[in-house]
Structure 1
């Protein structure tokens, strides 16, 4: 399975870039899945819904299905957060998996960077970051600088990196 990440600090444009990359790459005829890391607790169902009631009652997993989609919720119940590799094996085969977040994992990545955040680049200390997509010129960068607002250019780079160009 081909895997490529988009990483960066909060408000750096990761999610917007991911959304545009998925749209661009799927428009080229490739299949894409995504994995998003959340640093906080989240819910995909809501109090009062049947699936929520099943989960709160103690179900380890709740699979919710309809004719339009299905979702599997797995409760960790104090178990450790799974590694990215453990999650990837649960995905159906696709041409490319785009991963948002997971800064510390060793898969190749693009760093999203917006000047207005005032954050320093992650790239100088991380050899898994193969290029930086930014809204500003960055002096002294030792890897490719791509335009953050041009998903086609970023997609071309990623597809070249994973052998799908």
Structure 2
């Protein structure tokens, strides 16, 4: 599987870019999966649901299934957070996995940047960032795309991974 990341500081436009890239790239006939890193605690089911009751009772994994989808919840309990490589190994094969976050990992990435956040660019100090998608003009040693030019960003990613 080919992988490419989208990174940036909070409110930089990462999730919007990810969403548009999935639409654009799947629209071109490629299969895409995503991984999103969360820096906070999250839950996909809720108190009172049977699956939640199973987890609270102590189940290590709960697989919730219907005719439309399934979700596998794995409780880490005393385990370390899994690495990106471990998580990639859990995905079914697709043409491309887009990864939101994991900015310190070594895979190639595009940085989403919005000037209004006031955050400095990550790219100048990170050679794994192969391009920047920004809402302002920038002069860098790598390609810079308009944050809303999804087609051009998709072209770059697909070219970089050889799809």
- Provide the TM-score with structure 1 as the length reference: 0.98
Alignment match, 1:42 = 42
Pairs within 5 Å for 1:8-27: 8-27=8-27
How far 1:78 sits from its partner (Å)? 2.0
Misfit runs of 4+, over 4 Å: none
Does 1:120 pair with 2:120? Answer: yes
SS state at 1:38 partner: coil
Q: Match of 1:144? A: 143
Listed as ranges, the gaps of 5+ residues in structure 1 are none
| Structure 2: runs of 5 or more not aligned | none
Structure 1 residue 138: Cα displacement: 1.4
Aligned residue-pair number = 163
Written as runs of structure 1 = structure 2, the 5 A alignment for 1:50-69 is 50-69=50-69
Q: Which residue of 2 aligns with 1:163?
A: 162
Give 1:32 deviation, angstroms: 0.1
Partner SS for 1:55: helix
Question: How far apart in 1 are the matches of 2:32 and 2:115?
Answer: 29
CA-atom RMSD in angstroms: 0.5
